[in-house]
Amino acid sequence: MPRPASREPEPGSDPLGGDQGMLARATGARLWKDHGLLLWAHFLVPPVLAALVVAATFATPVLAGILAAIVLGIAAVSARALMLRLSQTEEQRLALTNQLIQSQKLAAIGELSAGIAHEINNPIAIIAQEGEWATHLIGEAEKQCGADFAEVKDSLREVRAQVDRCKNITHKLLDFARKREPVMQDVDVSRIIEDMARLVDKEAAYKNVTLVRSLPQDLPKLRTDAPLLRQVVLNLMTNALHAVSEGGRIEASARADDEVLEIRIKDNGCGIAPENIEKIFNPFFTTKPPGQGTGLGLSMCHTLVTGMHGEISVDSKPGQGAAFTVRLPRRPQPART
Amino acid sequence: MDIKILLVDDENDFVETMVKRFGIRKMAIDSAKSGQEALAAMQAKDYDVIILDVRMPGMDGLEVLKLIRERAPLTEVIMLTGHASLEAGMQGMNLGAYDYVLKPADFDDLLDKVRKAFERKELNAKARKQGA
């Protein structure tokens, strides 16, 4: 019998407790471990009862008939329960496999792009240095021969600007791939949302967009990494601000139950096309015109939230806005290795 | 425990008020008027929390933040700005700033954030020691 690793989290805790636990659940090993007795009953009760019927046939035919009917009924109920259970497991397995594939895909893309960024960083630095040197040489030449090299200097300035742009992207990528172990503190989530909303307010006012906060007074404190959460909230709000048109509305809300604290940033903007929903958390995926967004914001959010042992999801219909939901566990999570 | 704080801002009045208000609470706070001054001060002393203005003449606050994060990764930085600049805020948070305060800063608010930043720094230092 395949046994899940000993590090497997307690039943009922984080539904995504590590790859091991995820796999154990996906393959049904978890089911066997938790419900072994029940499954044995499923398999053994009908044959045992059948044996009883055989025994009963040696008694009166009426008694045999009654016993046979009872056995048939029990067998049917048992089979049905088993099938239900199997189909539920299958559904869970599918969902978990999908999640696993998605997070593995994101991790692979992240690693690849960080590798490329790292390799490209050096040549970019050399281009910047050489550009600066050329600018210096042109300046000297200008002084010596009195000619006007304004156009060359202009072109070098542009080289510099574009190099800076490249550097910006590679830095973001490297930063995003760097694994930061979260530092857990008691965090006032309402306060974080309010603080970040204030940063967005002014820009929102320019666009005539209202940023509504609906935060319950009694939202419990959450043990999590404060700056990471700020980054996620700010990114989602900025994202929403880009998605809405003039006069739009963004709503930031939060709520908690015993298990999770949920933050939701909802906008009434253009929404996300169904074919893009799957790709929305991929690094470099953007619907903005070239040069206006690196497509790293949401994938960064995904990485950060996963790092905080939480989940991020999106719900959207084209033309009806989008809602991003971040769900963070309220109980301490086992450290991941 | 004493928190070693450095305030980096070119606005004299603001710095004086802050130094006074932290002083009332018996909290020593050093100040620097520019990025260069701040980096020089960091060589002489290990700060726990640096409160950093984003907009200063000379070295840009975000540039200073990058250098602080490189040179003293454990030191937490709280960004400070006179106006809500979303872009600077995003960049600051992405560069690893702990928090962001809008001027005019409410003192209690700032104090609370400094304490939280310090708590994180201590937790981080402890985790590193255990990991090493």
> Do residue A30 and residue A101 come from a single domain?
yes
Say whether both A202 and A212 belong to one domain: yes
Q: Do A231 and B124 touch (CB under 8 A)?
A: no
Q: Are strands A311-316 and B76-81 parallel, antiparallel or unpaired?
A: unpaired
> Does residue A334 lie within any of the structural domains?
no
A202 & A254 share domain: yes
Residue A277 and residue A209 share a domain? yes
- 3-state SS class at A233: helix
Is the CB of A185 inside 8 Å of chain B's CB atoms? yes
Does a structural domain hold residue A5? no
Q: Is the Cβ pair A199, B89 closer than 8 Å?
A: yes
Residues A200 and A292 in one domain: yes
* In a shared domain, residues A166 and A208: no
In a domain, A2, yes or no: no
Q: What are phi and psi of A69, to 5 degrees?
A: -65, -45
Question: Chain A partners of B123 at a C-beta cutoff of 8 Å?
Answer: 183-185
Interface residue B116 vs chain A (CB under 8 A): yes
Question: Is residue A133 one of the residues assigned to a domain?
Answer: yes
User: Hey, which residues 275-304 in chain A have their CB within 8 Å of chain B?
Assistant: 300
Number of domain units in chain A: 3
Distance CA A193, CA B113 (A): 15
A-chain residues within 8 Å CB-CB of B94?
A: 172, 175, 231, 300
Rounded to an integer, what is the distance from CA A298 to the centroid of its chain? 9
A64/A140 same-domain check: no
Flag whether the ipTM exceeds 0.85.
Answer: yes
- Same-domain status, A162 and A194: no
For the segment(s) B5-131, the CATH number from 3.40.50.2300, 3.40.50.10300, 4.10.220.20, 3.40.1160.10 is 3.40.50.2300
Give me Rg for the CA atoms of chain A: 30
Whether A162 and A282 share a structural domain: no
Which CATH number is A243's domain given?
3.30.565.10
A61 and A145 housed in the same domain:
no
- Domain-ending residue, one of A92, A107, A122: A107
Strands A222-224 and A260-267: unpaired
Predicted structure pTM score: 0.70
Which of A130, A41, A54, A53 has the alpha carbon at shortest distance from A82?
A41
CB-facing half-sphere around the CA of B89: CA atoms within 13 A = 27
In a domain, A12, yes or no: no
Cα(A3)–Cα(A334) distance, integer angstroms: 19
Is A272 inside a domain boundary?
Answer: yes
Contacts of B98 in chain A (CB under 8 A): 226-227
Report how far apart, in Å, the C-alpha atoms of B65 and of each of A124, A172, B54, B74 are: 22, 15, 9, 13
A7 belongs to a structural domain: no
Domain presence at residue A153: yes
pLDDT in tens, chain A (337 residues): 344 444 434 444 444 445 555 555 555 555 566 666 777 777 777 777 777 777 766 777 777 777 777 777 887 787 788 888 888 888 888 888 877 777 777 777 777 877 888 888 889 999 999 999 999 999 888 888 877 888 999 999 999 999 988 888 887 777 666 666 788 899 999 999 999 999 899 889 989 999 999 999 999 999 999 999 999 999 999 999 988 989 999 999 999 999 999 999 999 998 888 888 888 888 778 877 766 667 778 888 988 898 888 999 999 988 889 999 999 999 877 655 4
Which residues 6+ apart lie within 8 Å of B101 measured at CB? B51, B78, B79, B80, B81, B109, B110, B113
Last residue of a domain, one of A74, A107, A140: A107
Greatest alpha-carbon span in chain B:
43
Beta carbons of A226 and B97 less than 8 Å apart: no
Domain region containing A48: 18-107
One domain for residues A55 and A165: no
